[in-house]
Structure 1
Protein backbone atom coordinates (compact mmCIF):
# COMPACT_ATOMS: atom_id res chain seq x y z
CA UNK A 1 0.00 0.00 0.00
CA UNK A 2 3.07 2.24 0.05
CA UNK A 3 6.17 3.37 -1.82
CA UNK A 4 8.86 5.58 -0.36
CA UNK A 5 12.28 7.12 -0.90
CA UNK A 6 14.75 7.85 1.91
CA UNK A 7 17.93 9.80 1.25
CA UNK A 8 20.91 11.72 2.57
CA UNK A 9 21.69 14.86 0.59
CA UNK A 10 25.32 15.67 -0.24
CA UNK A 11 25.08 18.66 2.12
CA UNK A 12 24.19 16.45 5.09
CA UNK A 13 20.42 16.90 5.11
CA UNK A 14 18.17 13.87 5.44
CA UNK A 15 14.77 13.46 3.84
CA UNK A 16 11.98 11.13 2.92
CA UNK A 17 8.96 11.12 0.61
CA UNK A 18 6.18 8.57 0.82
CA UNK A 19 2.88 7.86 -0.94
CA UNK A 20 0.05 5.40 -0.30
CA UNK A 21 -3.50 4.37 -1.08
CA UNK A 22 -4.30 4.52 2.65
CA UNK A 23 -4.87 7.76 4.57
CA UNK A 24 -2.26 9.67 6.59
CA UNK A 25 0.69 7.56 5.43
CA UNK A 26 3.35 10.03 6.62
CA UNK A 27 2.09 9.86 10.21
CA UNK A 28 2.93 6.14 10.37
CA UNK A 29 5.84 5.57 8.01
CA UNK A 30 8.08 8.63 8.05
CA UNK A 31 10.94 8.89 10.60
CA UNK A 32 13.75 11.44 10.12
CA UNK A 33 16.24 12.82 12.64
CA UNK A 34 18.73 15.65 12.17
CA UNK A 35 22.35 14.49 12.08
CA UNK A 36 21.28 10.87 12.46
CA UNK A 37 19.44 9.44 9.46
CA UNK A 38 16.12 8.22 8.09
CA UNK A 39 13.98 5.15 8.68
CA UNK A 40 10.89 4.20 6.67
CA UNK A 41 8.61 1.64 8.31
CA UNK A 42 5.88 0.47 5.93
CA UNK A 43 3.78 -2.38 4.42
CA UNK A 44 1.78 -3.70 7.42
CA UNK A 45 3.25 -0.84 9.36
CA UNK A 46 4.72 -0.86 12.85
CA UNK A 47 5.55 2.82 13.50
CA UNK A 48 7.62 1.84 16.56
CA UNK A 49 10.39 0.54 14.29
CA UNK A 50 11.22 4.10 13.17
CA UNK A 51 12.32 5.45 16.55
CA UNK A 52 14.11 2.19 17.40
CA UNK A 53 16.11 2.40 14.19
CA UNK A 54 16.89 6.09 14.68
CA UNK A 55 18.03 5.50 18.26
CA UNK A 56 20.38 2.78 17.01
CA UNK A 57 21.78 5.14 14.37
CA UNK A 58 22.22 7.86 17.00
CA UNK A 59 24.25 5.44 19.11
CA UNK A 60 26.70 4.93 16.24
CA UNK A 61 25.23 1.97 14.39
CA UNK A 62 25.40 1.91 10.60
CA UNK A 63 22.32 1.30 8.44
CA UNK A 64 22.64 -2.50 8.41
CA UNK A 65 23.11 -2.73 12.18
CA UNK A 66 20.27 -0.29 12.86
CA UNK A 67 17.99 -2.37 10.64
CA UNK A 68 18.93 -5.56 12.50
CA UNK A 69 18.34 -3.79 15.83
CA UNK A 70 14.87 -2.66 14.78
CA UNK A 71 13.91 -6.10 13.50
CA UNK A 72 15.20 -7.72 16.71
CA UNK A 73 12.45 -5.79 18.52
CA UNK A 74 9.80 -6.92 16.03
CA UNK A 75 7.54 -9.91 16.74
CA UNK A 76 6.33 -10.09 13.11
CA UNK A 77 9.29 -9.16 10.87
CA UNK A 78 7.83 -11.10 7.95
CA UNK A 79 5.06 -8.47 7.68
CA UNK A 80 7.33 -5.43 7.76
CA UNK A 81 9.16 -3.44 5.10
CA UNK A 82 11.88 -1.20 6.55
CA UNK A 83 14.33 1.13 4.79
CA UNK A 84 17.29 2.88 6.47
CA UNK A 85 19.84 5.53 5.49
CA UNK A 86 22.61 6.38 7.95
CA UNK A 87 24.74 9.48 8.55
CA UNK A 88 27.35 8.35 6.02
CA UNK A 89 24.78 7.61 3.33
CA UNK A 90 24.87 3.86 3.92
CA UNK A 91 21.61 2.05 3.19
CA UNK A 92 19.78 -1.10 4.25
CA UNK A 93 16.40 -2.58 3.26
CA UNK A 94 14.20 -5.37 4.64
CA UNK A 95 11.13 -6.75 2.90
CA UNK A 96 9.55 -9.57 4.87
CA UNK A 97 8.08 -12.67 3.26
CA UNK A 98 4.55 -11.33 3.87
CA UNK A 99 5.15 -8.02 2.08
CA UNK A 100 1.97 -7.27 0.15
CA UNK A 101 1.44 -7.70 -3.58
CA UNK A 102 4.11 -6.81 -6.11
CA UNK A 103 6.96 -5.42 -4.05
CA UNK A 104 10.49 -4.29 -4.73
CA UNK A 105 13.39 -2.23 -3.36
CA UNK A 106 16.57 -0.63 -4.65
CA UNK A 107 19.61 1.06 -3.14
CA UNK A 108 21.88 3.77 -4.49
CA UNK A 109 24.52 6.14 -3.17
CA UNK A 110 22.93 7.82 -0.15
CA UNK A 111 19.41 6.74 -1.11
CA UNK A 112 17.13 3.73 -0.92
CA UNK A 113 13.60 3.04 -2.14
CA UNK A 114 10.99 0.39 -1.47
CA UNK A 115 7.34 -0.28 -2.21
CA UNK A 116 4.54 -2.80 -2.02
CA UNK A 117 1.26 -3.43 -3.86
CA UNK A 118 2.92 -1.82 -6.88
CA UNK A 119 1.70 -1.72 -10.46
CA UNK A 120 4.98 -3.44 -11.33
CA UNK A 121 8.59 -3.57 -10.11
CA UNK A 122 9.62 -0.84 -12.54
CA UNK A 123 7.89 1.72 -10.32
CA UNK A 124 10.67 1.43 -7.74
CA UNK A 125 13.43 1.78 -10.33
CA UNK A 126 11.68 4.91 -11.60
CA UNK A 127 11.40 6.28 -8.06
CA UNK A 128 15.15 6.04 -7.52
CA UNK A 129 16.09 7.21 -11.01
CA UNK A 130 13.70 10.16 -10.80
CA UNK A 131 15.51 11.30 -7.66
CA UNK A 132 19.13 10.76 -8.72
CA UNK A 133 18.60 12.24 -12.19
CA UNK A 134 16.66 15.29 -10.99
CA UNK A 135 18.17 18.70 -11.68
CA UNK A 136 15.93 20.50 -9.17
CA UNK A 137 17.91 23.08 -7.16
CA UNK A 138 16.53 21.91 -3.78
CA UNK A 139 16.67 18.59 -1.95
CA UNK A 140 12.90 18.69 -1.55
CA UNK A 141 12.47 19.23 -5.27
CA UNK A 142 14.60 16.19 -6.07
CA UNK A 143 12.69 14.03 -3.60
CA UNK A 144 9.41 15.15 -5.17
CA UNK A 145 10.77 14.46 -8.65
CA UNK A 146 11.42 10.88 -7.55
CA UNK A 147 7.89 10.53 -6.22
CA UNK A 148 6.40 12.00 -9.38
CA UNK A 149 8.44 9.61 -11.53
CA UNK A 150 7.11 6.66 -9.54
CA UNK A 151 3.50 7.76 -10.03
CA UNK A 152 4.09 8.35 -13.73
CA UNK A 153 5.54 4.84 -14.00
CA UNK A 154 2.32 3.38 -12.62
CA UNK A 155 2.52 3.83 -8.86
CA UNK A 156 0.39 1.46 -6.85
CA UNK A 157 -1.91 -1.15 -8.32
CA UNK A 158 -4.83 1.03 -7.16
CA UNK A 159 -5.31 4.78 -6.70
CA UNK A 160 -3.14 6.63 -4.18
CA UNK A 161 -4.65 9.06 -1.68
CA UNK A 162 -1.98 10.31 0.74
CA UNK A 163 1.61 11.51 0.59
CA UNK A 164 4.21 13.27 2.70
CA UNK A 165 7.68 14.78 2.69
CA UNK A 166 10.01 15.62 5.56
CA UNK A 167 13.52 17.09 5.51
CA UNK A 168 15.90 17.86 8.39
CA UNK A 169 19.03 19.98 8.15
CA UNK A 170 21.24 21.57 10.82
CA UNK A 171 18.54 22.33 13.39
CA UNK A 172 16.73 19.77 15.56
CA UNK A 173 13.31 20.25 13.98
CA UNK A 174 12.16 19.43 10.43
CA UNK A 175 12.73 22.39 8.13
CA UNK A 176 10.13 20.91 5.77
CA UNK A 177 7.23 18.73 6.93
CA UNK A 178 4.31 18.62 4.51
CA UNK A 179 1.49 16.08 4.41
CA UNK A 180 -1.54 15.29 2.30
CA UNK A 181 -3.75 12.92 4.26
CA UNK A 182 -6.56 12.28 1.72
CA UNK A 183 -6.71 13.60 -1.83
CA UNK A 184 -7.44 12.39 -5.37
CA UNK A 185 -4.00 13.62 -6.48
CA UNK A 186 -1.83 13.53 -3.34
CA UNK A 187 1.51 13.87 -5.12
CA UNK A 188 0.31 16.85 -7.15
CA UNK A 189 -1.11 18.44 -4.01
CA UNK A 190 2.13 17.78 -2.10
CA UNK A 191 4.08 19.54 -4.83
CA UNK A 192 1.64 22.47 -4.65
CA UNK A 193 2.20 22.70 -0.89
CA UNK A 194 5.95 22.77 -1.51
CA UNK A 195 5.55 25.78 -3.81
CA UNK A 196 3.77 27.54 -0.92
CA UNK A 197 6.35 26.51 1.68
CA UNK A 198 9.58 26.91 -0.30
CA UNK A 199 9.75 30.74 -0.31
CA UNK A 200 8.99 30.82 3.46
CA UNK A 201 11.21 27.92 4.58
CA UNK A 202 14.30 29.99 5.39
CA UNK A 203 12.32 32.68 7.24
CA UNK A 204 10.74 30.15 9.58
CA UNK A 205 14.14 28.63 10.31
CA UNK A 206 15.48 32.08 11.21
CA UNK A 207 12.51 32.70 13.51
CA UNK A 208 13.36 29.57 15.44
CA UNK A 209 17.08 30.31 15.71
CA UNK A 210 17.01 34.10 16.26
CA UNK A 211 13.65 35.91 16.21
CA UNK A 212 15.42 39.28 16.45
CA UNK A 213 16.80 38.69 12.96
CA UNK A 214 13.53 37.39 11.54
CA UNK A 215 11.56 39.24 8.90
CA UNK A 216 8.09 40.54 9.68
CA UNK A 217 5.41 37.91 9.79
CA UNK A 218 3.32 39.48 7.06
CA UNK A 219 -0.02 38.75 8.73
CA UNK A 220 -2.77 41.05 9.98
CA UNK A 221 -1.80 42.55 13.33
CA UNK A 222 1.96 42.30 12.73
CA UNK A 223 3.40 45.69 13.65
Structure 2
Protein backbone atom coordinates (compact mmCIF):
# COMPACT_ATOMS: atom_id res chain seq x y z
CA UNK A 1 0.00 0.00 0.00
CA UNK A 2 3.07 2.20 0.12
CA UNK A 3 6.30 3.19 -1.60
CA UNK A 4 9.24 4.75 0.20
CA UNK A 5 12.91 5.65 0.07
CA UNK A 6 15.21 5.65 3.09
CA UNK A 7 18.57 7.33 2.57
CA UNK A 8 21.67 9.04 3.92
CA UNK A 9 23.06 12.20 2.36
CA UNK A 10 26.28 11.99 0.36
CA UNK A 11 28.12 14.03 2.99
CA UNK A 12 27.08 11.57 5.69
CA UNK A 13 25.43 14.25 7.81
CA UNK A 14 21.70 13.68 7.17
CA UNK A 15 19.35 10.69 7.22
CA UNK A 16 15.77 10.62 6.04
CA UNK A 17 12.68 8.95 4.65
CA UNK A 18 10.13 9.96 2.01
CA UNK A 19 6.94 7.93 1.61
CA UNK A 20 3.61 8.01 -0.23
CA UNK A 21 0.53 5.81 -0.05
CA UNK A 22 -3.19 5.33 -0.58
CA UNK A 23 -3.51 5.39 3.20
CA UNK A 24 -4.56 8.10 5.64
CA UNK A 25 -1.62 9.85 7.31
CA UNK A 26 1.16 7.56 6.13
CA UNK A 27 3.71 9.82 7.80
CA UNK A 28 2.42 8.85 11.23
CA UNK A 29 3.21 5.16 10.71
CA UNK A 30 6.09 4.58 8.31
CA UNK A 31 9.16 6.83 8.85
CA UNK A 32 11.59 7.22 11.72
CA UNK A 33 15.14 8.57 11.92
CA UNK A 34 17.75 9.70 14.43
CA UNK A 35 20.72 11.88 13.49
CA UNK A 36 24.01 10.03 13.75
CA UNK A 37 22.17 6.71 13.98
CA UNK A 38 20.13 6.00 10.84
CA UNK A 39 16.63 5.82 9.40
CA UNK A 40 13.87 3.25 8.79
CA UNK A 41 10.61 2.84 6.90
CA UNK A 42 8.18 0.16 8.12
CA UNK A 43 5.22 -0.61 5.85
CA UNK A 44 2.87 -3.21 4.27
CA UNK A 45 1.22 -4.62 7.41
CA UNK A 46 3.48 -2.23 9.28
CA UNK A 47 4.90 -3.14 12.65
CA UNK A 48 5.40 0.35 14.05
CA UNK A 49 7.45 -1.09 16.93
CA UNK A 50 10.14 -1.69 14.32
CA UNK A 51 10.96 2.01 14.38
CA UNK A 52 12.16 2.19 17.95
CA UNK A 53 13.65 -1.29 17.88
CA UNK A 54 15.63 -0.73 14.69
CA UNK A 55 16.99 2.63 15.82
CA UNK A 56 17.97 1.09 19.14
CA UNK A 57 19.86 -1.70 17.35
CA UNK A 58 21.57 0.84 15.10
CA UNK A 59 22.46 3.03 18.07
CA UNK A 60 24.13 0.03 19.68
CA UNK A 61 26.33 -0.35 16.61
CA UNK A 62 24.42 -2.84 14.47
CA UNK A 63 24.61 -2.43 10.72
CA UNK A 64 21.42 -2.03 8.70
CA UNK A 65 21.46 -5.69 7.68
CA UNK A 66 22.04 -6.92 11.25
CA UNK A 67 19.32 -4.63 12.62
CA UNK A 68 16.91 -5.95 9.99
CA UNK A 69 17.80 -9.55 10.80
CA UNK A 70 17.07 -8.94 14.47
CA UNK A 71 13.70 -7.36 13.70
CA UNK A 72 12.61 -10.26 11.55
CA UNK A 73 13.85 -12.94 13.96
CA UNK A 74 11.72 -11.46 16.73
CA UNK A 75 8.52 -11.01 14.67
CA UNK A 76 6.19 -13.89 13.79
CA UNK A 77 4.44 -11.58 11.32
CA UNK A 78 7.61 -11.03 9.30
CA UNK A 79 6.08 -12.42 6.11
CA UNK A 80 3.58 -9.52 6.11
CA UNK A 81 6.17 -6.81 6.72
CA UNK A 82 8.16 -4.57 4.43
CA UNK A 83 11.11 -2.63 5.79
CA UNK A 84 13.93 -0.40 4.58
CA UNK A 85 16.86 0.64 6.79
CA UNK A 86 19.95 2.82 6.29
CA UNK A 87 22.58 2.95 9.01
CA UNK A 88 25.02 5.61 10.17
CA UNK A 89 27.61 4.66 7.55
CA UNK A 90 25.15 4.46 4.66
CA UNK A 91 24.80 0.69 4.75
CA UNK A 92 21.34 -0.38 3.59
CA UNK A 93 18.94 -3.29 3.86
CA UNK A 94 15.41 -3.96 2.65
CA UNK A 95 12.92 -6.76 3.31
CA UNK A 96 9.70 -7.69 1.52
CA UNK A 97 7.77 -10.48 3.20
CA UNK A 98 6.41 -13.31 1.09
CA UNK A 99 2.84 -12.43 2.10
CA UNK A 100 3.06 -8.78 0.92
CA UNK A 101 0.59 -8.03 -1.86
CA UNK A 102 1.80 -7.68 -5.46
CA UNK A 103 3.53 -5.90 -6.81
CA UNK A 104 5.93 -5.81 -3.89
CA UNK A 105 9.70 -5.57 -3.75
CA UNK A 106 12.66 -3.28 -3.25
CA UNK A 107 16.13 -2.15 -4.29
CA UNK A 108 19.15 -1.16 -2.25
CA UNK A 109 22.47 0.51 -2.88
CA UNK A 110 25.10 2.47 -1.01
CA UNK A 111 23.20 4.96 1.12
CA UNK A 112 19.65 4.08 0.10
CA UNK A 113 16.87 1.50 0.41
CA UNK A 114 13.76 1.72 -1.79
CA UNK A 115 10.67 -0.45 -1.33
CA UNK A 116 6.98 -0.64 -2.16
CA UNK A 117 3.95 -2.89 -2.10
CA UNK A 118 0.61 -2.99 -3.92
CA UNK A 119 2.37 -1.03 -6.67
CA UNK A 120 1.53 -0.89 -10.36
CA UNK A 121 4.77 -2.78 -11.05
CA UNK A 122 8.51 -3.03 -10.52
CA UNK A 123 9.01 0.08 -12.64
CA UNK A 124 7.95 2.18 -9.64
CA UNK A 125 10.97 1.30 -7.50
CA UNK A 126 13.21 1.26 -10.58
CA UNK A 127 12.15 4.82 -11.45
CA UNK A 128 12.77 5.87 -7.85
CA UNK A 129 16.27 4.42 -7.89
CA UNK A 130 17.06 6.08 -11.23
CA UNK A 131 15.87 9.46 -9.93
CA UNK A 132 17.86 9.09 -6.73
CA UNK A 133 21.05 8.19 -8.56
CA UNK A 134 20.55 11.01 -11.09
CA UNK A 135 19.93 13.67 -8.44
CA UNK A 136 22.65 16.11 -7.44
CA UNK A 137 24.48 14.72 -4.40
CA UNK A 138 25.01 18.30 -3.18
CA UNK A 139 21.28 19.00 -3.05
CA UNK A 140 19.55 18.92 0.35
CA UNK A 141 18.56 15.34 1.21
CA UNK A 142 14.87 16.25 1.41
CA UNK A 143 14.92 17.46 -2.20
CA UNK A 144 16.60 14.28 -3.41
CA UNK A 145 14.11 12.14 -1.50
CA UNK A 146 11.15 13.97 -3.00
CA UNK A 147 12.62 13.68 -6.50
CA UNK A 148 12.67 9.91 -6.04
CA UNK A 149 9.16 9.88 -4.63
CA UNK A 150 7.87 11.98 -7.53
CA UNK A 151 9.49 9.60 -10.01
CA UNK A 152 7.85 6.60 -8.38
CA UNK A 153 4.47 8.29 -8.50
CA UNK A 154 4.93 9.18 -12.17
CA UNK A 155 5.77 5.54 -12.90
CA UNK A 156 2.46 4.40 -11.40
CA UNK A 157 2.94 4.45 -7.66
CA UNK A 158 0.36 2.80 -5.43
CA UNK A 159 -1.99 0.80 -7.64
CA UNK A 160 -4.98 1.87 -5.52
CA UNK A 161 -4.42 5.59 -5.96
CA UNK A 162 -3.08 8.53 -3.93
CA UNK A 163 -3.89 9.89 -0.50
CA UNK A 164 -0.93 10.85 1.70
CA UNK A 165 2.80 11.53 1.67
CA UNK A 166 5.52 12.55 4.10
CA UNK A 167 9.19 13.47 4.35
CA UNK A 168 11.38 13.27 7.46
CA UNK A 169 15.03 14.38 7.54
CA UNK A 170 17.34 14.61 10.55
CA UNK A 171 20.71 16.27 10.92
CA UNK A 172 22.60 17.19 14.07
CA UNK A 173 21.48 20.57 15.40
CA UNK A 174 19.24 21.25 12.38
CA UNK A 175 15.96 21.61 14.27
CA UNK A 176 14.08 24.80 15.07
CA UNK A 177 16.37 27.11 17.01
CA UNK A 178 19.04 24.40 16.97
CA UNK A 179 17.38 22.63 19.90
CA UNK A 180 16.86 19.26 18.19
CA UNK A 181 17.96 17.38 15.08
CA UNK A 182 14.74 17.42 13.02
CA UNK A 183 15.60 19.32 9.85
CA UNK A 184 12.33 18.56 8.03
CA UNK A 185 9.16 16.81 9.23
CA UNK A 186 6.31 17.47 6.80
CA UNK A 187 3.15 15.43 6.20
CA UNK A 188 0.20 15.55 3.84
CA UNK A 189 -2.39 13.30 5.45
CA UNK A 190 -5.29 13.38 2.98
CA UNK A 191 -5.02 15.01 -0.44
CA UNK A 192 -5.85 14.19 -4.05
CA UNK A 193 -2.25 15.05 -5.08
CA UNK A 194 -0.18 14.50 -1.94
CA UNK A 195 3.31 14.62 -3.46
CA UNK A 196 2.93 18.01 -5.22
CA UNK A 197 1.33 19.30 -2.02
CA UNK A 198 4.28 18.00 -0.01
CA UNK A 199 6.65 19.80 -2.37
CA UNK A 200 4.66 23.02 -1.87
CA UNK A 201 4.98 22.63 1.90
CA UNK A 202 8.72 22.05 1.56
CA UNK A 203 9.02 25.32 -0.36
CA UNK A 204 7.24 27.08 2.52
CA UNK A 205 9.40 25.28 5.06
CA UNK A 206 12.53 26.56 3.34
CA UNK A 207 11.12 30.09 3.19
CA UNK A 208 10.09 30.27 6.83
CA UNK A 209 12.53 28.00 8.62
CA UNK A 210 15.91 28.09 6.88
CA UNK A 211 18.53 30.80 7.14
CA UNK A 212 19.27 33.30 4.39
CA UNK A 213 22.48 32.93 2.39
CA UNK A 214 24.84 35.88 2.51
CA UNK A 215 24.34 36.71 -1.16
CA UNK A 216 20.55 37.06 -0.68
CA UNK A 217 20.87 39.67 2.08
CA UNK A 218 19.90 43.23 1.13
CA UNK A 219 21.30 45.91 3.50
CA UNK A 220 18.61 48.03 5.15
CA UNK A 221 19.53 51.73 5.10
CA UNK A 222 17.37 54.56 6.43
CA UNK A 223 15.42 54.96 3.21
CA UNK A 224 14.64 51.24 2.94
CA UNK A 225 13.68 51.06 6.62
CA UNK A 226 11.22 53.89 6.08
CA UNK A 227 9.78 52.00 3.09
CA UNK A 228 9.46 48.81 5.14
CA UNK A 229 7.84 50.59 8.09
CA UNK A 230 5.35 52.28 5.77
CA UNK A 231 4.45 48.93 4.23
CA UNK A 232 3.97 47.38 7.67
CA UNK A 233 1.63 50.20 8.70
CA UNK A 234 -0.38 49.66 5.49
CA UNK A 235 -0.79 46.02 6.61
CA UNK A 236 -2.11 47.04 10.01
CA UNK A 237 1.14 46.60 11.95
CA UNK A 238 2.96 49.14 14.11
CA UNK A 239 6.25 48.88 12.23
CA UNK A 240 8.36 46.50 10.18
CA UNK A 241 9.55 44.31 13.11
CA UNK A 242 5.92 43.80 14.13
CA UNK A 243 5.00 42.75 10.58
CA UNK A 244 7.94 40.33 10.44
CA UNK A 245 6.79 38.70 13.67
CA UNK A 246 3.20 38.42 12.48
CA UNK A 247 4.26 36.82 9.20
CA UNK A 248 6.87 34.46 10.73
CA UNK A 249 9.74 35.84 8.65
CA UNK A 250 12.24 35.99 11.52
CA UNK A 251 14.69 33.73 9.68
CA UNK A 252 14.66 36.09 6.70
CA UNK A 253 15.73 39.35 8.36
CA UNK A 254 18.68 40.25 10.57
CA UNK A 255 18.21 40.16 14.33
CA UNK A 256 18.90 43.90 14.34
CA UNK A 257 16.94 44.44 11.09
CA UNK A 258 20.05 45.67 9.28
CA UNK A 259 19.38 43.31 6.36
CA UNK A 260 16.41 41.66 4.67
CA UNK A 261 16.15 38.62 2.41
CA UNK A 262 15.60 39.58 -1.23
CA UNK A 263 12.52 37.31 -1.38
CA UNK A 264 10.88 39.14 1.52
CA UNK A 265 11.72 42.50 -0.03
CA UNK A 266 10.10 41.28 -3.26
CA UNK A 267 6.95 40.36 -1.29
CA UNK A 268 6.85 43.83 0.26
CA UNK A 269 7.30 45.61 -3.06
CA UNK A 270 4.68 43.44 -4.76
CA UNK A 271 2.23 44.98 -2.35
Choose 1 or 2 for highest CA Rg.
2
Structure 2 counterpart of 1:202: 210
Structure 1 counterpart of 2:245: 219
Closer/same/farther in 2, CA of residues 66 and 221 from structure 1, 3 Å limit: closer
2:135 equivalent to 1:134: yes
Deviating more after overlay: 109-118 vs 72-81: 72-81
Structure 2 counterpart of 1:188: 196
SS at match of 1:166: strand
* Alignment partners' CA distance in 1, 2:150 and 2:247: 39
Structure 2 counterpart of 1:79: 80
Gaps of 5+ in 1: 204-214
Q: What TM-score do you get using the length of structure 2 for normalisation?
A: 0.74
* Alignment partners' CA distance in 1, 2:87 and 2:7: 9
Q: What TM-score do you get using the length of structure 1 for normalisation?
A: 0.90
Structure 2 counterpart of 1:149: 151
SS at match of 1:19: strand
Aligned CA-pair RMSD = 2.0
Which aligned segments of 4 or more residues in structure 1 are displaced greater than 3 angstroms?
Answer: none
Q: Which has the higher contact order (CA 8 A, sep 6+)?
A: 1
Closer/same/farther in 2, CA of residues 37 and 219 from structure 1, 3 Å limit: same
* Alignment partners' CA distance in 2, 1:190 and 1:49: 25
* Alignment partners' CA distance in 2, 1:216 and 1:84: 45
SS at match of 1:14: strand
Please report how far the alpha carbon of residue 75 of structure 1 lies from its aligned counterpart in structure 2 after TM superposition: 2.4
Please report how far the alpha carbon of residue 157 of structure 1 lies from its aligned counterpart in structure 2 after TM superposition: 1.0
Closer/same/farther in 2, CA of residues 217 and 41 from structure 1, 3 Å limit: farther
Please report how far the alpha carbon of residue 137 of structure 1 lies from its aligned counterpart in structure 2 after TM superposition: 2.8
Gaps of 5+ in 2: 174-179, 212-240, 251-271
| Pairs aligned (count) | 212
User: Contact 1:132–1:142 (CA<8 Å) still a contact in 2?
Assistant: no
User: Contact 2:8–2:141 (CA<8 Å) still a contact in 1?
Assistant: no
* Alignment partners' CA distance in 1, 2:98 and 2:105: 12
Please report how far the alpha carbon of residue 220 of structure 1 lies from its aligned counterpart in structure 2 after TM superposition: 2.8
User: Contact 1:18–1:26 (CA<8 Å) still a contact in 2?
Assistant: yes
